[in-house]
Amino acid sequence: MPDKPAILGGEPVRTKPLGEWPIVTDEEIEAVTRVLKRRKLCATMYSAYEVPELEEEFARAMNVKYAVATSSGTAALDIAVAALGIGPGDEVITTPYTFIATATCIVHNCAIPVFADVDLRTRNIDPSDIERKITDRTKAIIVVHIAGHPCEMDEIMEIAE
């Protein structure tokens, strides 16, 4: 471990700069340019040429039957909750330590968010508190993997089943 960080005159850990991010290929730039030149930016059945192709390609890559492209993670959460038939009076357990869309997708579907505590070590939802929060109105659990740290999914799946 160096005596002091590079910013204070210590030895840098890298001698070359990190690469640029996000990585955008020429093929991706051409695809976006092609869509923009059509001047049909609304995804209707007459203008969304790339969307079905993207969905099919993604479904194949994920080895699933279907994939649905959405405009955002927020829209994806709203659609997922609605697709599960979650509605008025239903409860969905989630974490309070998350982006607001995790809770609003529940409220948008007229259901009730129930917050389980976070594990102070991982900052992820605490499986033992999930178990304590389950009622006869619980219909789903929405987990959020915080900062790249996966939740205790084996334990959570066991509780969910």
Please tell me the distance from the alpha carbon of residue 19 to that of residue 13, in angstroms, as a whole number: 15
Residue of 106, 107, 104, 102 whose CA lies nearest to 125: 102
- Higher-confidence residue of 139 and 21: namely 139
pLDDT (mean) for 9-31: 85
What digits encode the pLDDT tens for the residues 34-76? 878 877 766 665 556 778 888 999 999 999 999 998 889 999 9
- 33 with 61, same domain? yes
Q: Under 8 Å CB-to-CB from 12, ≥6 apart: which residues?
A: 6
Q: Is the distance from CB of 92 to CB of 113 less than 8 angstroms? A: yes
Which pLDDT does position 4 carry in this prediction?
83
Q: What is the CATH number of the domain that holds 139?
A: 3.40.640.10
- 18 with 84, same domain? no
- 77 with 63, same domain? no
pTM to 2 decimals?
Answer: 0.73
- 78 with 58, same domain? no
Look up residue 13 and give its two tokens. Answer: 């850990």
Residue of 68, 71, 43 whose CA lies nearest to 58: 68
- 3 with 65, same domain? yes
- 84 with 153, same domain? yes
Count the Cβ atoms, other than its own, within 10 Å of residue 1. Answer: 3
Which pLDDT does position 158 carry in this prediction?
97
Q: Is the distance from CB of 92 to CB of 138 less than 8 angstroms? A: yes
Which pLDDT does position 44 carry in this prediction?
64
Dihedral sign for Cα 47, 52, 58, 61, please. Answer: negative
For 52, the domain range is: 1-69
Q: Under 8 Å CB-to-CB from 67, ≥6 apart: which residues?
A: 55, 56, 58, 59
Which pLDDT does position 123 carry in this prediction?
94
Which pLDDT does position 14 carry in this prediction?
81
Residue of 72, 119, 75, 77 whose CA lies nearest to 95: 119
pLDDT (mean) for 104-121: 96
Long-range (24+ apart) CB contacts under 8 A made by 26-31 are none
Of 23, 44, 69, the one marking the end of a domain is 69
